[in-house]
Structure 1
Amino acid sequence: MIETAAGNHSLFNAYVKERLDTLCGQFDLKYWPSLDQLVRAIAADAESATLEATDPLPLAATAATRPSRADVFKALFAAIEENSVHHHGQLPEGFRLTDGTLTSLVKCALDLGPNELADSAYVKRLRQRERNGDM
Structure 2
Amino acid sequence: MKLAVLTPNVSVLAQPSPDDIAGLGQRGYRSIIGNRPEGESEDQPAWADLQAAAAKADLSALQIPVVMGQITDDQIAHFREALDTLPKPIAVFCRSGTRAALMWALANQANLTADERIGIAAKEGYDLEPFRQRLSRETNNAEA
Same fold per TM (> 0.5)?
no
Q: Calculate the TM-score normalised by the size of structure 2.
A: 0.28
Using CA pairs under 8 Å that are at least 6 residues apart, name the structure with larger relative contact order, 1 or 2.
2
Which has the greater radius of gyration? 1
Q: Calculate the TM-score normalised by the size of structure 1.
A: 0.30
Structure with higher helix content: 1
Structure with higher strand content: 2
